[in-house]
Amino acid sequence: MDEIEKKPPMRRIATEEAFSIPEHYDAIRALAAAGSEEPDLVMWRHFLGNSRPAFVDNLMDVDRQRLRTMDELGVGMHLLSLTSPGVQMFEAGLAAEVAEAANDRLAEIKARHPDRYAGLASFAPQDPKRAAREMERAITKLGLNGFVLNSHTNGEYLDEPKFRPILEAAAGLDAAIYIHPRVPPKPMADLAVKYALESGHWGFQSDAALHVLRIMYSKAFDDFPNLKIVLGHMGEGLPYWMWRLDYWHKNGGRRPPLKKLPSDYIRENLMITTSGMDWAPTLKFGLDVLGPDNIMFAIDYPYQEARLSVEFMDSVDIPDDVREKIYHRNAERIFKIPSAPGIAATGAKENA
């Protein structure tokens, strides 16, 4: 705690913070009990069992322990999103109902704690037209701040033509889509599960990065230049691959032509967050190739250690004006979160 208090207080908005609702738990539990072979259920069967980790209950707690943890570490706001794997394992009707219930609950949470929570709306890609309607409701009626998609839906990604209404809705609403990973589709997951590599250890990043590249090569960013995609975990490896992506784009021959280079879309249409990647070399590399306007702070609560994330961001050797952008200014801009009173300049007093 001493290390945190040495730094001038600064607003901290954490942008990949999971929550859940009972209806979501119940739907996952029913799939698990029915013997579904969805790879995500390997982890969730443990989460829902008698020996489930203590942090699982924190997913549904937004009024007690979560706020105490935020207060202890000086985190002013959580941007809440329905925990992975979201609604994408469910039948279309159930998926839409759970997503809509989660969005209604998010709006209620924001109303109870307007200075502490913002929210990313869920939607059910299984029914793209209904998803687009729910996206509009979530932004224009519920006042939510963007969208979360837990990557693939039955092994399909948003580049598929049938999902174009979803991308069109996000662009039309000028609201970013945070693509959170889930376990890759079964053929790929089966190659990783022997050594428990299918989820956060490795499989998550390979799935989410592939998803963004597929969106890119579907020409979605050419069609919707203002479309913003957010990736956690310092960009799921994509910033590191920018030079190679450009090289093979120019020399490979089999990919569709694009108006720009892959690195241009990564810089212009992609935002990344620090979730689960509290390592200075990675952050400094991201700043070098993307710049300070493209990176946001995130903890990945309750899956990651919140104290570690805050201590890292407070102590990493970067200028305070850059730290300020990462901690809150970029999130305010991308997710349309009002600035907090009293935080007009670097080192200003935090109002949380």
Strands (E), 109-221: 117-119, 147-149, 177-179
Task: Give kind and range of the element (H or E) at residue 31.
Answer: helix 22-33
- Reduce the secondary structure of 272-328 to three states and give it as a string: EECCCCCCHHHHHHHHHHHCHHHEECCCCCCCCCHHHHHHHHHHCCCCHHHHHHHHH
Name the amino acid, one letter, at 317.
D
Identified catalytic residue from 159, 278, 300, 314: 300
Largest CA distance in the chain: 55
What's the one-letter identity of residue 344?
A: A
DSSP annotation of 114 reads T
Q: How many angstroms separate the CA atoms of 130 and 123, rounded?
A: 8
Q: Which residue, among 271, 344, 286, 342, has the nearest Cα to 318 in the 3D structure?
A: 286
- Cis amide bond preceding 85, omega within 30: yes
d(CA 22, CA 107): 16
Amino acid at 69: T
300 is catalytic: yes
Backbone φ and ψ of 82, nearest 5°: -60, 130
Helix pair angle (262-269, 242-251), 10° resolution: 140
**Catalytically active residues, by annotation:** 300
